[in-house]
Every structure is written in structure tokens, then in C-alpha cells.
Structure 1
Amino acid sequence: MAYTNSPLVSYTKLSPNHSGQRTHSIDRITPHCVVGQCSVETLGNIFLPTSRQASSNYGIGVDGRVGMYVEEKNRSWCSSSAANDQRAVTIECASDTTEPYAFKDVVYQTLIKLCMDICKRNGKTKLLWLGDKTKTLGYTPKPDEMVLTVHRWFANKSCPGDWMYARMGDLASKVTAALGGTPSEQKQLYRVRKTWSDSKSQKGAYRVLANAKACADKNPGYSVFDSDGKAVYTSGNGAAVVNGDDTFKVRVSVPDLNIRCGPGTNYAATGRFTGAGVFTITAVQSGQGSSSGWGKLKSGAGWIALDYAKRV
């Protein structure tokens, strides 16, 4: 096929770090987080040395500008998976340097536009987020479908960060709607997991919420998550799930607040920390080690002690 590049590009610095022309047509998009609020020029300099052994097709700088570092016809070195990079357009996005590696709104809005453009130029009318590694990698997209994948599926990384991971469904639905497609493959699935980020703990995925709740009730400590990673139900363990406009934000000032698998110090730490910042809480539960209770992070990363967080 004839490959083209995005007209949204305002800066180009082609990297030598690529494998030449693709051996697979484009049917995936893989957004990444840079872990730095950098410009498209800085990204270009990062990918320029051959010693870096890394690149991406596009980058979105902190101001929302788009840079190109590997033309779409070529395979970038971005996802720790040659098979994924052969068929994916990879996009590095400026982000915060600490979890959940949030994007500025201008970056996210540009990501939506860039994904729309990539889909349109490659003859796609739907962008799909299937929300599960096994299902996604085993899925054969129809000729008009583009599929979202993430770096964390191929390497021990959090990329694209919990902030973006929780918005993959939103990205897919917004792009599909703008393209005029019908997101038939994106019907609501309710997944039963310990946390949203712990896909290996998944007990099942259900079309019917009542069935998902029943599964969670049989597995204490498990919750039901919608397709965007939002906890909509927690098994009967005393948790108060907060929905919709009742969610609230907290500010964490300490850089090394543990995230735990459950609401208490009797639950294992995930090995990750919040970092300082503002986080959204979707459930509150009393538990060992925090007199103010434990808050469940909207990202699905786990629970934090509210003794160390101030409501904002």
C-alpha cells in the first residue's frame, strides 16, 4: 500500500533508529508516555543518536505540537515488540514524570486528533479498545478497524501510565464517533479484577453487570470495572464505592506513598508509589494502618492511606 504521513506534523527530525519499511499493514496505534513534559524538539534530539536504540513515529510535545521521527511507512523501535511495531503507529506523548504520568489537556486533545488522522488516512472508520492483552493480540481487525495497544503489554513498564490507560476507552470512542463509525466491538464489558491495573487477576468479563457483581461476590477483595477502568462495584468487604459526581480528589504531598493491593497495611504493596500530586478516589474503606481510612485510586492502581492525603 501507499503510506502517507500526518499533515498535523509541525516539526520533523527523522531518526536513524528504525527497521525500514513495514512488513505488515497499519492496523494498530500505540500511545506512550514520555515521562517528561518535553517539546517535540527535545524528543527529536532524544531519538537522534543511534546509541539510543529507540524511536517513535510521532511525538506530541507539552504544547500540543506534533513531531515526526519515523515515517509511517517504516517500523519504529518503540513498544518492546517487533511484531507490534510492524503494524502500529507509535506516538510518544509528553507527560508528568511521576505516576499516574498525566498528560496536559492540550496533549490529550491532540492525541485524539492525531489518531483520527491516522485512522482516516489508513482507511479506518473505527478505533477499538478491547481492554485486554490476550483478546487484543488474538483479534484480527476488520478492514475498517484500527486497534489500540499499550507498551505495558510487552515489557515490565507502566507505559502509557495509569492516567492514559484509564482513558483508552474514551480515546477510542471519541475517535470512532468523529470518524462516523459504529463502535460495535466496544460494547460495555464489566471486568472482575483485584485492581484495574492487575489484568492477570481477572476472573471474567461480562456484558451483564449483575453477572459481574455475582462473580465479584464469590471472590472477596475483587471489584467490577467498566471499560474505562472505573470501579463500579466492590465485593462485600465493607468498601463504599463512590460513583459519578460523588468521586473526590485528594492531594498527596509525600513522594513515596505506597499503593497497596487492598485497603490496609495487611495487603501487599504493589511496589509502586503515588508520587506527589492530585488523585481521584472512587471508594473508601476502613482498614489497618490508616485512621482516616483507605481510598481506592480511580486509575485502578490500588489503594492509598488517606492519613497522608488531603481532600481538595
Structure 2
Amino acid sequence: MCNMNKINRMISKYNYTPGNSSRIKYIVIHYVGALGGAKENCIYYGGRDRGSSAHYFVGFDGEIWQCVEDQNIAWHCGASSYKHPECRNANSIGIEMCVWKKGTQTLGATDRDWYFENKTVQSTIELVRYLMEKYHIPADHVIRHYDVTGKICPNPYVYNEGKSTWDTFKKAISAKNADHETKKQVPEVWYRVRKTWKNAGSQVGAFKTLKQAKQCADQYAGYRVYNTSGKKVYVSLKLPYKVQVKTGTIPVRSGPAKTYRRVKQISKGVFEITEEKNGFGKLKSGAGWIYLKKVERV
């Protein structure tokens, strides 16, 4: 398991029942059903009584966070009725996979646009194989929350409409050469439209092509397009938008051309542009026009 990511530990004082490692017979795969990362979920479930939990959370970049000790019983697949004849909280380990969504107008459990990052999938595969070996768990005892209770979880592995499906996941954990199986997967490229990279809740779309993402961004003032690694690659053209001076000071002119008189100078601060003309932008304050090549969007 040399390729498995480090397991970060943030063990909770809450949301588990004491147990022992001899109890472990199953591994149950979940998705978090929200847009938070692995560490954030650990903090959430570790801070107070929540009535539910999981042993591990696997993040967008493949980072692994442990919230409950393996031997203890996390509350991850309990229900009033069950599909599975045997698997329960008491004999399983629960793994939550962090998840993205192409559109965030709704976050419904039955929405079909939830998806996993390739790094999340690969890291989960390695974690599962590690736990299988450690606790002698066969591949047919690695199951979905859906298989236990019928809950649509993990959503992308219930509907199986993306590149990574439950079938490919099960084949990968069963492969003799796991390193080869996980490495050969080609990372999926997504362009996400958000206000900022860190503000995942502001996301209004995720697209396979930059062109589609730009078209979406241009419908929302102040939105940007980010690539898979979180780098900003495009800023919405929609007015109004905000700018800041690149360096030094720049003149504010009475009209949209260099021939108009200077009315003042501006330097530090954020300014809102409400109109564009001849390469100049009109300031919302009414002070005048500035040359747009001297500023950058924020």
C-alpha cells in the first residue's frame, strides 16, 4: 500500500459506540451529500453530538481524515429497516467520499449531477485495499450504503452515470495490481464556475469544456472559471464587475478616451465598473472613466 495517502487523525470524543477490531466484517462506502472537504467534515462530526459519523473521510485531493478509531462503532449506516441481511454499524467500517456537484441550485439526494474527483476515487480505492488487507475483508464485503439500507448513497455509485462507476470501483479494489489499476485512470477535467475557488457553495456549474464554462460565467457578474487544480482561468464579462489598479496610480477621465481631461487619480482600493466603451470602464461612483488595461478584475 505504498501509494496510499497519509491518514490524518482527528479522533472524535462523540458519535461512536466502543467496540473492538474483531467486529469488522464489512466496509461501507458513502458520499457526504454536501460540498465540504474531508477535514471540514471531521471537524463537524468531531465537535459535538451529531447522531451520525464515519470512520474516514476522503477529500477532493485524495487526503484522508480519520474521525473514529477502527475498532469503535461509527454511526454511518443505521436505519429502521435494512436491505442487507447482515451488514450493520456494529460490524462495519464507514468511509465517506467528498463530492462535487455540477449545479448547486439544489443539493438533492436524487439529483444526478453529483460526481467524484478522480483523486478522491483513487485514494478511496487505496484506503479500502489497505483496510481489506488489515482486517481480512473480502471484496464482496465492500458495499454501498445503498446496499445496506436502500438510501441513495453514494449517489454517483447508485446512478453510475459518470466515468467512475461502482463496477469500476469494485474491479479496482479487486485487482491484483492495484497500483496499475489506479494509476492508469485518466484524470477527468472539469471547469467550475464560482465566485471564488474556496466558496464551493457559490458554484453554479461544472463543465467539461472551457467554452461552456465561459458561457455560464458570463451570465453571472463577478463569477470566475476555475480549472481542476483550482486555478482561475476566466473572469465573467457580465457587468457590473469590480477591479483594482495593477500598479501605481491611474487617471480618471471625464470620458471614454485618452483625449478627455483628467478629473482625478486613483490607486489603492476596489472600484466597480458599470459600463465599457473604447477600452475604458465607467466608475459606479460617477467620477469618470478609467483605462481598463491598467486595472485587473477582482
Output the TM-score relative to the length of structure 1.
Answer: 0.45
Output the TM-score relative to the length of structure 2.
Answer: 0.47
Kindly name which structure, 1 or 2, has the bigger radius of gyration based on alpha carbons: 2
